[in-house]
Amino acid sequence: DEAALAELASALADAETAVALTGAGISAPSGVPTFRGEDGVWGDEFDPEDFRIGRLRRDPAGFWRDRVDLHDRLFPDGVEPNSAHEALASLEAAGRLDAVVTQNTDGFHAAAGSETVLELHGNAARVACVDCGATRPAEPVHERVRTAVEAGDDEALPPTCPDCGGPLKPDVVLFGESLPRSTFQRARAFAADSDVFLAIGSSLEVEPAASLPRRAAAGGTLAIVNLASTRADGRADIRLRADVTDVLPALAARLDAD
Ligand code: APR
Ligand code: ZN
């Protein structure tokens, strides 16, 4: 609503440090499905339990079969950043936003021009070797998996590291894994320093990302932009129950950052 938007715009105008935490909701307008909520992928289509790091060790062929299906469902051909990603990039360029901390693995913030992006859950465009840690583009590996699945050739799974022969994993944080330490420490510092913290398009159900808005609310203004209620609504100073593609471009325009 107008009043909340005006309040958020003036809080950002006065802020020394402003940080955004984004979730799947910011990419939903791009055609990337969310995980929870009515058309979320967790539930009737995919079970998060199937994507734990333990399954990759126990049943690498089954893990990779399901992982490529999930990847293709999350990132259909041609999806790209939307006006909400672009608005955050322009707010940063105008000096109104210092960092974007994202739970998303789609790489859309950097693609839209954001410079300081902290990928808490990694990036699905890469795969990593479980043994030596080497990373490489994911698509050729996905192609090999699709071919192996079509040929019923489980011997070819899991895809292995050309450097050391170790099993490959998506370069994302799987359930049961910890977040990249330095990235999360940096995100915690940003949250603690922020005068304004924007939680955008996230149900704020998953820890430890969801601890960031709590940390930010302790010393600054917490604003939540989300279509549905979130776990942190009770702590929010400003709540905008609206679409990211309405709110964020309007916010950038008010701050002459468009
Ligand atoms: N505008 C604003 N909010 C939206 C929009 C939109 N256009 N579309 C969806 N939303 C909101 C939904 O109402 C929902 O509350 O985005 C939120 C997305 O929540 P989740 O699907 O739970 O996604 P997220 O919070 O990013 O999940 C966190 O869970 O499965 C793990 O690792 C995965 O990073 C993911 C983490
Ligand atoms: Zn390796």
What's the CA gap between 211 and 232, in Å, rounded? 9
**Ligand 1 atom 36: residue of nearest CA:** 206
71, 85, 121, 142: which is the annotated catalytic residue?
121
Confirm whether 121 is a catalytic residue: yes
CB 199 near ligand 1, within 6 Å: no
Q: What is the pLDDT of residues 222-258, one digit of tens each?
A: 999 999 999 999 999 999 999 999 999 999 999 988 7
Question: How far is the centre of ligand 2, averaged over its atoms, from the C-alpha of 133 (Å)?
Answer: 6
Question: How far is the centre of ligand 2, averaged over its atoms, from the C-alpha of 169 (Å)?
Answer: 10
Residue 6 has pLDDT above 90, yes or no: yes
Average pLDDT over residues 116-140: 97
Tokens found for residue 121: 């859950």
What's the CA gap between 71 and 59, in Å, rounded? 18
Strand pairing class (117-119; 238-240) = unpaired
Ligand nearest to the CA of 129: 2
Is 172 annotated as belonging to a binding site? no
Question: In the prediction, which pLDDT does 257 show?
Answer: 82
Question: What is the ipTM metric for this complex?
Answer: 0.99
Question: In the prediction, which pLDDT does 258 show?
Answer: 76
Q: What is the pLDDT of residues 11-29, one digit of tens each?
A: 999 999 999 999 999 999 9
Which band of pLDDT confidence, cut at 50, 70 and 90, is reported for residue 37? confident
Residue 36 CA, chain-centre distance (Å), reads: 13
Question: How far is the centre of ligand 1, averaged over its atoms, from the C-alpha of 104 (Å)?
Answer: 9
**Which residue, 201, 173, 142, 175, is CA-closest to 48?**
175
Is 188 annotated as belonging to a binding site? no
CB 233 near ligand 1, within 6 Å: no
Residue 86 CA, chain-centre distance (Å), reads: 15
Is the bond leading into 158 cis (omega within 30 degrees of zero)?
yes
Q: What is the pLDDT of residues 42-70, one digit of tens each?
A: 998 999 999 999 999 999 999 999 999 99
Residue 86 has pLDDT above 90, yes or no: yes
pTM assigned to the model? 0.97
Average pLDDT over residues 82-98: 98
Share of residues in the chain with pLDDT > 90 (%):
95
CB 205 near ligand 1, within 6 Å: yes
**Is residue 98 within 8 Å of 116, Cβ to Cβ?**
yes
Is 129 annotated as belonging to a binding site? yes
**Ligand 1 atom 26: residue of nearest CA:** 23
Q: What is the pLDDT of residues 138-193, one digit of tens each?
A: 999 999 999 999 999 988 999 999 999 999 999 999 999 999 999 999 999 999 99
Question: How far is the centre of ligand 2, averaged over its atoms, from the C-alpha of 135 (Å)?
Answer: 8
- Looking at 57-61, 69-73, 208-212, which range is the least confident one? 57-61
CB 121 near ligand 1, within 6 Å: yes
Ligand nearest to the CA of 204: 1
Taking the CA of residue 22 as reference, the ligand 1 atom at the shortest distance is: 26
